[in-house]
Amino acid sequence: MGWKKMFGRKKLPPFPRDFWLEEMEQARDDAAALIVPPEYQGRLKYLFFPGCQLGASDPRYPQAVYQLLLRAEPATAMWLSCCGAPSYWVGEIEQYRSVQAEQHQQWESLGRPQVVLACMSCKKIIDYVLPDIQPLTVYEVLADSGLQLPLYPQLPELALADPCMSRDEPQVRQAVCTLLERMQVPYQILHQDIHTLPCCGFGGNIEGPNLAAAQAAAQRRISSEERPILAYCVNCRDVFAGAGKQSLHIIDLLTGLNGLERPTPHLSLRRDNRRLAKALALGGEKEEFLGISLEISEETARMMDESLLSADHIRRLIARAEQSGDYFIDEQQIHIARLPLCGVTIWAEYRPLGGRQYQLISVYFHRMEVEKTDEAAGK
């Protein structure tokens, strides 16, 4: 039975599904940006589309890759947005086609430049629905460029993990290998048969409904591998890093941004990362969602990751509570408030720090709907 039918029949609670759709909408809305060099307006050669996860993983990635592309070809624009894959994965086909139609329109309005992608899921989706776009990957463009790249002959041997979305895309793997050879990176391909590449566990956003299945997929992919992993899909890199593996993205080698030990970024803080990626691309300051600044401990962020709660949910909860006065307060002046959110009720305990700053102390949720008591005055 598909997702849509199961929700319709109330066989599944909706929360995990809506989390990923919210991620997509955030990437297409307040984290979206189009940067076009004014001198190349109307005569662009490339349109770089990093996808929704590159800046969510490391806010510096999109701008760093864009700078590389600009060195290779100055007539290059960058568009921060999302290809619509999350809506496809949850079966929202109409929404997905609408996203794709908007993208096609944007591409047309920019004069049909060559689209350049960093994410193989974006490529699969665009190839399937918008075949006239015929996108390339940033790895192909950089491999064909004469750019001088940094050298890494001293690195330990890396295991190159192709993403599952590279199945039947040998030209992309070849471009990645060309870049690695040009950078003198010691490496071996982890899974040779490009037609049967396994998934890291990210695909389909199964982490929400079945975290154990996602973690098992990651373990199957890397458990017997002793070498550090080199990925060219940011989701794979983050999944492997989250499974405790030393992991690099090829962008780290191309730009020198990160080493082998970068931990997986918190799922709950990815919307903040996207906003920072946008600010870095536009050369401005990051804006806080609803103007609320939050202090979140490492432990709380980890718990929020597992519960598919974003820092933005907490900002909405606090904004609603502080505006309406609907919260409880304890002897320590800690505020406790709730937010109904697509089938669940989120609770947060937080301490006001002055102005619009708050320290998040605890977060939890339940799916049951709590009704008011019969005895409540005036009810």
Q: Whole-number minimum distance, CB 365 to other proteins, in Å?
A: 7
326-365 positions binding other proteins, by CB under 8 A: 326-331, 335-336, 338, 345, 347, 362, 364-365
How many other β-carbons are positioned within 10 Å of the β-carbon of residue 31? 27
- Regarding 372 and contact with other proteins (CB under 8 A), the answer is yes
- Regarding 366 and contact with other proteins (CB under 8 A), the answer is yes
State which residue, 39 or 375, has the beta carbon closest to other proteins: 375
Contact 285, 274 (CB under 8 A): no
Angle between helices 270-282 and 311-324 (to 10 degrees): 100
Q: Residue 142: name the closest of 79, 78, 69 by CA.
A: 69
Q: Whole-number minimum distance, CB 326 to other proteins, in Å?
A: 6
- Regarding 17 and contact with other proteins (CB under 8 A), the answer is no
State which residue, 64 or 346, has the beta carbon closest to other proteins: 346
Contact 154, 257 (CB under 8 A): no
Q: Whole-number minimum distance, CB 12 to other proteins, in Å?
A: 8
State which residue, 87 or 268, has the beta carbon closest to other proteins: 268
Q: Whole-number minimum distance, CB 337 to other proteins, in Å?
A: 9
Residue 211-250 contact track with other proteins, rule CB under 8 A, x = bound? ----------------------------------------
State which residue, 97 or 320, has the beta carbon closest to other proteins: 320
Which residues fall within 8 angstroms of residue 44, CB to CB, at 6 or more apart?
36, 75, 76, 77, 110, 111, 113
State which residue, 128 or 364, has the beta carbon closest to other proteins: 364
- Regarding 371 and contact with other proteins (CB under 8 A), the answer is yes
Which residues fall within 8 angstroms of residue 132, CB to CB, at 6 or more apart?
none
Measured over the CA atoms of residue 143, residue 146, residue 149 and residue 155, the dihedral's sign is positive
- Regarding 325 and contact with other proteins (CB under 8 A), the answer is yes
Whole-angstrom distance, CA of residue 251 vs CA of residue 230: 10
Look at the block and give the residue holding tokens 């689209």: 115
Angle between helices 211-222 and 234-242 (to 10 degrees): 90
- Regarding 147 and contact with other proteins (CB under 8 A), the answer is no
Contact 117, 139 (CB under 8 A): no
- Regarding 298 and contact with other proteins (CB under 8 A), the answer is no
- Regarding 299 and contact with other proteins (CB under 8 A), the answer is no
Name the site residues for other proteins (rule: CB under 8 A): 10, 12-13, 324-331, 335-336, 338, 345, 347, 362, 364-379
